[in-house]
Structure formats: structure tokens, C-alpha cells
Structure 1
């Protein structure tokens, strides 16, 4: 089945700023379930093997969307690099949720899309954002987390926090690009002002969608116990652990193979089965 790709579609969000999205879908006379992928911290839509993932999910009969959140540090002119570190520093969870809402609004009205079948796939921090969005937006009836966090309260503590508050910024080295990535204190203030809304545990308990939790047992960034915790919070969810898989399920940037990494392929096949069984044929 041939997949049609529309890349770098400009999405305008008056609450944030313009950002880019890609759509992958097969030719079909029937309306297709809408599957939206939400990247994580220091993530972007073209990272690693996400393009191969998009093609595989679209080939399975879905309208697949991936996007750069507006303040992830990329730009509409250069979606592959962190060319706007000032925007990265001004990112926060409110902006990421707003961007995800704008993506849903933009694509749910597409004539090819079945607006009764909307599924989010969130990786890492994007998993936490997807859980919150699912609890807030009744249009979403499927949620899949990939190596998701179980809390968004992930900030410096102790002296490091006090220094952040005093200086107004702290930096994290990007191991791949060697850039010093800024985090302004507004990020924490946004969390504090919306602490109830950003409660991932509460959102997981309240989520009414069909939920699949996928995690690698060798995840070096987010412990597998966070996946187990999410599953306990919503016992109707399904937990799928992949033995020895790491945080990105074997993918890395750049990904130069034409084939998906074995663990990511396993995760995607599970996603496809889950969507077909729980949402398409329910």
C-alpha cells in the first residue's frame, strides 16, 4: 500500500506561534482513524526513526500525524536543528498542550479523517502531555504511551532549584548537539500555576479512552516502574513491556537504516493491533 506524505504543513496557533506538522496516509475511500504522535523533551518530528514509524502506521490504514511543538527549539525554516534556543527556554507544558489541541483541531476536519476515532501516541514527556490531553478532550478515544513519564514534576531540586529561581535560567547540555539548552524559570512558574491541571496521576485515573502503556525494561531515562504505576492508576489500561528495550526502543539520531529498529518495530506492531482491536473494530 502506497503512503502519501505531506511534510512541513504550517500550523498556526495564536496562543503560541507557527509550527510544522507532517501527515502520512494511504489512498482510501473510507475515512481513516487519526493517529497523532507527540514527541518528548529535546524531541522533534524528524528525529531518528520516527519517519519510518509514520510510514508503517499509515500503511496499516491510518492517517498519521507528527509535529514539532512550537517551542521545541526548531523553526519553521529549519525543522531538523535546535536553531531557536530562546524559544526552547520559553517552552512550558501549557504551550505543549495548546499546540496538541491545535493539531487535533487542524486535522480532525480533514475529509480523509474519521473524527470519531482519534488516537494519541506520546513518547516520554509527550506521554505525560498526551495523558493530560486525553483526560481533558473527549474527542480522544485512544491513548498509547511510549516510555512515558508518570509525573511532569521533573525539575531541579535543593540548591540547584534555588539557583534556578535566583538566576532565572539553568542549562542542560544536549549530548548529541553539544548545545547548552536553556530553561527559564517561567517553566516552573507555569507548572506551579497549573499544578492541578498538570497532575498526570489524576489525569490517568480520569482518562476514559482505551489505553495502552508500552515501556522497555532497559529504559535508561524513565524507569519501567513509572509504566507500572500508570497501569495501576488506570487498571483498564493494557501494559506491554518490551524486554531489554531502551528509552527510544533502539532508535537514535541519525537513523540511517531503511528498516525500523527491532524493539521499535515490536512497539509499533503492538500499537497497530491495539488500535484495530480496541478502536477500529470495537
Structure 2
């Protein structure tokens, strides 16, 4: 049964990590809905994130190769690319270290997740309607000031249910950055952010991880990797054609259903 649980949670992680619907929120709700021991699986939910991260590395390997080659030559575009991501990453590091215990406490509250899903859905609809975006020609074209603001907005995702990708994408669009660049920025920013968060949580909870847990983590990470590969491609196709409104309405409905279920069980 543990392997089945690992597969299910791996699927949830792979589907939701890069969509603006909150992977952490969905993992918490899945744990509640299926009756799993939340304390037992909370570390697992974080430990399988590298699988989804690897999917981005594979899908965008040409970009990573080009940026790496450009850095060796100290090309302005590659330097700006890395600079912007590092700047946007810093606020999450500072707040994550300062308020780690409070953040961990929120991860145990499914009701917070439900309300955050609804609020985030409304926020996406507002940004989609009011944001005036223009093409900034890729991540390297994002300014330092915009990178700082995107990093600050990303910190809202420390509340489970907000969605890291949703916060960064909508934050970028509200700053005038076009949909495609906003989504790409969110994908690439996930690499240092999720890697850092995973490393910190695994270190903090290292005593809770035993030999048999490693196998489960590897299974969950592998499943999330395969699923995320397919989801990211489909996500960009949906966003290009329909925008982010479908995800906003999904969040509102899912949050409302979760509230009804949590209050009525």
C-alpha cells in the first residue's frame, strides 16, 4: 500500500507542480481525502520534488546549454538570465530560514489550503483581466527591479494552496511581462527554489527518514518526473490558447468543494 500511495502522490506532484494550482495544497488535500497519515507523508511530499525539477531540466536542456556556454564567454544575455533568477530566489531563502517553523505549521492545515485555492483563483482572474503585458524578450530581458518583485511575490506561496507557479506567473504579468516569459521565469525559478526547500526540509527531518523510505521517495520522484514532462508541454498549449482563466475557475471550484468536505466530514 505504501508503494501505491507513493505513486498516487507522485502523480499529484507531477500534475500540479508547474500549474498555477498549488502542488503542496493538492498533496495536503490528497493526504486528507485518502486518509493517509499526514505526518508520515509530509516529508515525502517535499522529497519527491526533485523529480519534477528534473523534468524542467530535460525539457529545457537547450536553454541550459546555451546559458552555460554564454556564461563561459561572459555574454550579457546569459549573465542577465542567471542574475535575474538568483535575485528572485533570495527573498524565499531569507523568509524560509526566518519563518520555517511557522511555514511547517501551515502545512498541516487543509482548511488554509482550501481558502488559499479560492483566493488565488480570484486573483488570477483579476490579473488576467487587468494586466497590460508586453513582450520583454525572454528572462534576460526582465529588469533587476522586476526580478526582485517576482521574488517577493513568490514568497506568498509559503502559504499552502497559494501556488508558487501561480504567484510568480501572475506577479510577472502584473509587472508587464508577457505570458510566455512569465511562465518560463516561473519554471526556471522553480529549480533553485524547490531544490533549496527540499534540501532544507530533508536536513531538518533527516531523523524521520529511514531505509525503506528511500525506495518510496525514488518511486514518487520518478513518477512525478514522467508526469511533469507531459504536463508542462500541455500547460503551455492551454495557456497560449485560453490563458490562465481555466486554472482560476478550477481553483475556485476545488477550494469550495474542499471546504464543504472538510467542514462536513
- TM over 0.5, shorter chain: no
Q: Which structure ranks higher in relative contact order (CA pairs < 8 Å, sequence separation ≥ 6)?
A: 2
Q: TM-score, normalization: structure 2?
A: 0.32
Q: TM-score, normalization: structure 1?
A: 0.30
Structure with the largest fraction of helix: 2
Structure with the largest fraction of strand: 1
